[in-house]
Amino acid sequence: MDWQFVFSQALTQAIGPTMLVYALGAIGLNLQFGYTGLLNFGQAAFAAMGAYGLALAVASFGLPFWWGIAIGLVAAVVMALLLGIPTLRLRADYLAIVTIAAAEIVRRLARSTVWSETTGGSDGLRGFSEAFFAMKPWGDDGNWSFLFVSMESGRLTVDLGVVNFQYSDRDLWVMVVGWTLVLFFLAVMGLLVHSPWGRVLKGIREDEEAVRSLGKNVFAYKMQALVFGGIIGAFAGFMFALSRANVQPDAFTTDFTFYFYVVLILGGAARLFGPVLGAALFWFLYNLFAQGLNQAIRADVIPPSVLDSTQVGPLVFFLLGLGMVLLLIFRPQGLIGNRKELMLDVR
């Protein structure tokens, strides 16, 4: 059994395009849920606004790429306003109900047959990402190598001996843009949560009536958090759509939202780097289990009578679920959370 391959694959994925999607979505959710205490159960829909906004604009209406980005962002802002205006004056759970329902409405509208000429129905859309990959600043077929890094026919290999990382040319471009976005939003979030503005958000999370009694317009703050978190969610959607070069409605199920939550809680909510660490660990473990089990079956370490390769997928999610339960029991604060803060007597 090829352990080196398993680890290399898992590590490759742990900083790869999909992980970046989870990291971005969770950064947005961290502002809403971690810092402000808003229960947004519709982050998948904000990602869908980004992904479908871009895909529809470019593939169906023939607009330029940047128009697609702008439309995706506007759609996310509009959705945040629509969901927030009726619910943010009410108790926290109303937002949870409305966002989870809205996310399903968005997905079902996208897969309905009525507009399938435009939206592609359940098959979704493709053919909107050429402009993005055309922006890649390096050529397609340069072959070079430098120390342990080599580029060969559009495939980058970083060979560290024990493990090696391999990315296609396109993945590499997605990663450059994705990591730039992650770092940018982390910087912005870092400034925001350490500012007086961020302090008001944390106050709202603790007790919004108290904050109201101190002369703060709580509704406006919650709306800002919902909108900005939704915008970051839309960027997760852009990266998701571009990294796969297609969008499909069923990628935006509530599961997608819950992965953002898993990532956030795994890393540590209300911690700046929680979402990034959580995303890396989550996607590392997922690939480690999946590749490990697949390799074990292929190498006959696990006989087919016990487990065959079609059962690997569900089993991996079972294991991750178990891991999540254990985490909540033994380390409820996540990787870098503050246990003391979590255990405080909230009277």
Partner 1 sequence: MSADQQTGISAARAALSGVAAEPGVAKPDPILTAAGVRRAFGGLVAVDVEHLEVQRGSITALIGPNGAGKTTFFNLLTGFDRPSRGTWDFNGRRANRMRSYQVARAGMVRTFQLTKALTRMSVMDNMLIGASSQIGERMWAGLLPPLWRQQEAANREKALELLERFKLIDKREDYAGELSGGQRKLLEMARALMLDPKMVMLDEPMAGVNPALKQSLLEHIKGLREEGMTVLFVEHDMDMVHEIADWVAVMAAGQLITEGTPDQISADRRVIDAYLGAHHDAAQR
- For partner 1, the binding residues (CB under 8 A) are 188, 191-192, 195-200, 202-203, 205-207, 209-218, 224, 228, 340-341, 344-347
Residue nearer to partner 1 on the CB measure, 119 or 224: 224
HEC-encoded secondary structure of 218-231: HHHHHHHHHHHHHH
Neighbours of 311 (CB within 10 A): 13
Write the CA distances from 14 to 58, 175, 257, 279, 284, integer angstroms: 30, 12, 19, 8, 5
Q: Min. distance of Cβ 221 from partner 1 in angstroms?
A: 8
Nearer to partner 1, 57 or 218 (CB): 218
Smallest separation (angstroms) from partner 1 to the CB of 346:
5
Task: Specify the residue, 155 or 212, whose C-beta has the smaller distance to partner 1.
Answer: 212
CB 31, min distance to partner 1, A: 11
Shortest distance in whole angstroms from residue 217 CB to partner 1: 5
Q: Quick check: helix, strand or coil at residue 173?
A: helix
CA distance 69 to 314: 35
CA distances (Å), origin 25, targets 140, 185, 240: 30, 11, 10
> Of the two residues 170 and 205, which places its CB atom closer to partner 1 in the complex?
205
Q: Which is nearer to partner 1, 126 or 216 (CB)?
A: 216
| Least distance CB 228 / partner 1 (angstroms) | 8
User: Cα(227)–Cα(318) distance, rounded to whole angstroms?
Assistant: 34
At which residue do the structure tokens 């911690």 appear?
271
User: What does the buried/exposed string (b/e) look like for 100-122 if buried means 16 or more CB atoms within 10 Å of the residue's CB?
Assistant: bebbbebbeebbeeeeeeebbbe
